[in-house]
Amino acid sequence: MNFLLKRMKKIEPLFEKGGRFEKLHSVYDGFATFLFVPDKVTTRGAHIRDHMDMKRTMTVVILALMPALLFGSYNIGLQHTRAFGIVDWTLIQMFWFGFLKLLPLIIVSYMVGLGIEFVAAQIRGHEINEGYLVTGMLIPLIMPIDVPLWMLAVSVAFAVIIGKEIFGGTGMNILNPALTARAFLFFSYPGWMTGDKVWIEGLMSGGGLDGFSGETPLALAKMDGFDQMPSAMEMFIGTIPGSAGETSTAAILIGAFILLLTGVGSWRIMLSMTLGALGMGLLLNATGGNEYTQMPAYYHLIMGGFAFGTVFMATDPVSAAQTNTGKYIYGALAGILVVIIRVFNPAYPEGTMLAILLMNVFAPLIDHYVVNANIRRRLKRVQRA
Amino acid sequence: MENVEKEPLFSAKYKKLITNPLGLDNPITVQVLGICSALAVTVKMKPAIVMAISVTVVVALSNMIIAFMRKAIPGRIRIIVQLVVIAALVIIVDQFLKAFAFDVSKQLSVFVGLIITNCIIMGRLEAFAMSNDPWPSFLDGIGNGAGYGLILIIVSFFREFLGSGSIMGYPVMEKLGLYNFGYEDNGFMILPPMALITVGLIIWVQRSRNKSLQETK
């Protein structure tokens, strides 16, 4: 490490003002701070510095994503063997198969996204932001495994440029960039995002057992195929068709535990969103309507992308509500919306993505009223005194 | 009427009436008027072009007619008078399209009738025709119609090219054989939000190239 530090220090003047690579200063800065803790010392006044800067925060989220990623890899292999009637694969084989399928998605996502981030940082003369580290990992985990790589690249470019950079880059975006990428793909190429073939590797290009159906539990529920739905335990463990990261509620819960333990994720949003969905589900159980409403309410929590969205998407510190009261409102409404879209919208079997994006849009409004209410409350107190 | 200076028909001042709305005073990208129809009719290029011509005709003629009558119109009922003129012209355009371009007329459906409510037309009548002579008013109408049409055609070009893989109905992508390589048309381009985003991108490019359009902080 010492050797590396010396090398970095040696080439630093090249990137300072007046140096040969002055224009690439943010690239240098990005790599230097990625490798080492910045050695900047404040010269005047007292400043409190926390080692829990953005890089560390992002690293924790990446760590929390690992269980879902690892299980997702295994599940891709498992679903593939089921669809193609392969019986003699070992666990390692399934995992390796899935991991190799997932790897290109991750590489493309990072290459396109980070490329745009680097260029944008050079144009603005800003430091390179770490914001994309997490987004770049989230995107492959919420995509169908068979999605063509160029489509993934287009949707990542759209999400980073339209969803983030034009608003001013990391920290300024209204919408969650990962969900923006997914929404773009969903509306642009619906053939690759919905249906009973996209969620299992290899089915889109033909093949698979005759009569094999790869619907997700959500799609089955939508078509009143309740009797064919996997058991609650299976959905909780995650051995069901779906995008890589979202199927296993158990693996996501491990990630949630890491996020909560380190204080990176907001427990208020996770709790209120879960309660919102559960409450809405129970309400529908009580009122009835169509057959779908009679499905046990807790199924909503373990089906589809709800768990993944709640833990990793809705808690995005940028696009979620900022005030504590606002977080409860934001989370609860998101949870309620998920169930409403799932049950009542005939077009979309899944509602998590749209519910969270919609609440992203409303988050500033919620904050505005929470802050104003607080100001009014305190004004009243002053006037009374 | 003695000191009226005869200006040439296409003096520099008059030329500006046409060129300004094409660029720095564009009705869509700068004044942000007429957005609704820009979203609705830009899925394909053909209807967009027909719509652009229709609006240009209506703006130019209604501008001219109102400029002729402007001194006779009582101020309090001027909006109604303007609407009557616009409505009459729109009906003529609508009937004309139905007679000579029925297919396009069907695609444009209600939006030809809705030219009446296009903010650009009322805006030009109020802002320009009510206080200028017929000839400059006519030129102003042509300019604003063309500025509106220009954006419509740019937006519809991208939406048709990326959304349907064709230009003016000619299947470019298919002829290039891109579908064989796994290319697919972008369904999102056909939906209205993408028109809004495309208009936004045009505004972005225009503003970043023209300092005069950027607000000073």
B191 vs A contacts (CB less than 8 Å)? 187
pLDDT of residue A377: 93
A166 vs B contacts (CB less than 8 Å)? 204
Is A46 within a domain?
A: no
B183 vs A contacts (CB less than 8 Å)? 150
What is d(CA A146, CA A333) in angstroms, rounded to the nearest whole number? 32
What is d(CA B77, CA B75) in angstroms, rounded to the nearest whole number? 6
User: Is the complex ipTM higher than 0.90?
Assistant: no
pLDDT of residue B2: 47
CB contact under 8 A, A189 and B186: yes
Do A134 and A280 fall within a single domain?
yes
Residue type, B83: L
What is the tens place of the pLDDT at every residue in B7-40?
677 777 777 888 888 878 888 888 888 788 788 8
**Which 3 state secondary structure label does DSSP give A242?**
coil
What is d(CA B120, CA B55) in angstroms, rounded to the nearest whole number? 9
Q: Longest Cα pair distance anywhere in chain B, in angstroms?
A: 73
- Of the candidates B183, B187, B204, the beta carbon closest to that of A188 is on B187
CB contact under 8 A, A189 and B191: no
Interface check for A168 against chain B (CB to CB < 8 A): the answer is no
What is the tens place of the pLDDT at every residue in A69-78?
999 999 988 8
B184 vs A contacts (CB less than 8 Å)? 151, 189, 191-192
Do A137 and A263 fall within a single domain?
yes
Interface check for A148 against chain B (CB to CB < 8 A): the answer is yes
**Which 3 state secondary structure label does DSSP give B167?**
strand
pLDDT-derived band of residue A207, with 50, 70 and 90 as boundaries?
low
pLDDT of residue A34: 67
B189 vs A contacts (CB less than 8 Å)? 188
Phi-psi region of A320 (alpha: psi -120 to 50; beta: other; left: phi over 0): beta
B155 min Cα distance to partner chain A (Å): 17
A143 min Cα distance to partner chain B (Å): 17
Q: Which run of H or E residues covers position A180?
A: helix A177-188
Partners of residue B167 on adjacent β-strands: B170
Do A10 and A67 fall within a single domain?
no
Is A30 within a domain?
A: yes
Mention every residue, 6+ apart, whose C-beta is less than 8 A from residue A31. Answer: A8
What percentage of chain A exceeds 70 in pLDDT?
Answer: 90
Is A40 within a domain?
A: no
Say how many domains are in chain A. 2
Q: Please say whether the dihedral angle defined by the alpha carbons of residues A145, A151, A157 and A163, taken in this order, is positive or negative.
A: negative
Q: Which of B159, B178, B186, B205 to probe by mutation at the A interface, max A CB count within 10 Å?
A: B186
B14 min Cα distance to partner chain A (Å): 37
pLDDT of residue A263: 85
B186 min Cα distance to partner chain A (Å): 5
A370 min Cα distance to partner chain B (Å): 29
Do A155 and A29 fall within a single domain?
no
- Of the candidates B183, B191, B204, the beta carbon closest to that of A187 is on B191
Do A23 and A161 fall within a single domain?
no
- Of the candidates B183, B187, B189, the beta carbon closest to that of A190 is on B187
In our burial notation (b when 16+ CB lie closer than 10 A, e otherwise), range A134-162 reads bbbbbbbbbbbbbbeeebbbbbbbbbbeb
Half-sphere exposure of residue B207, counting CA atoms within 13 Å on the CB side?
14
Residues spanned by the domain of A93: 54-373
Q: How many CB atoms lie within 10 A of CB B217?
A: 3
Do A208 and A158 fall within a single domain?
yes
Do A21 and A139 fall within a single domain?
no
Is A44 within a domain?
A: no
Closest CA to A96 of A74, A75, A112, A122: A74
DSSP string, A49-96: --S--HHHHHHHHHHHHHHHHHHHHHHHHHHHHHHHT-----HHHHHH
Do A348 and A286 fall within a single domain?
yes
Do A108 and A233 fall within a single domain?
yes
Do A20 and A123 fall within a single domain?
no
Q: How many CB atoms lie within 10 A of CB A64?
A: 24
**Which 3 state secondary structure label does DSSP give A182?**
helix
pLDDT of residue B1: 43
Interface check for A124 against chain B (CB to CB < 8 A): the answer is no
Do A330 and A359 form a contact (C-beta atoms < 8 A)? yes
Do A107 and A6 fall within a single domain?
no
Residue type, B95: Q
Do A21 and A99 fall within a single domain?
no
Q: Which of A1-10, A278-287, A349-358, B20-29 has the lowest mean pLDDT?
A: A1-10
Is A187 within a domain?
A: yes
On average, the pLDDT of chain B sits at 85
Could you tell me which chain A residue has the CA closest to the CA of B163?
Answer: A188
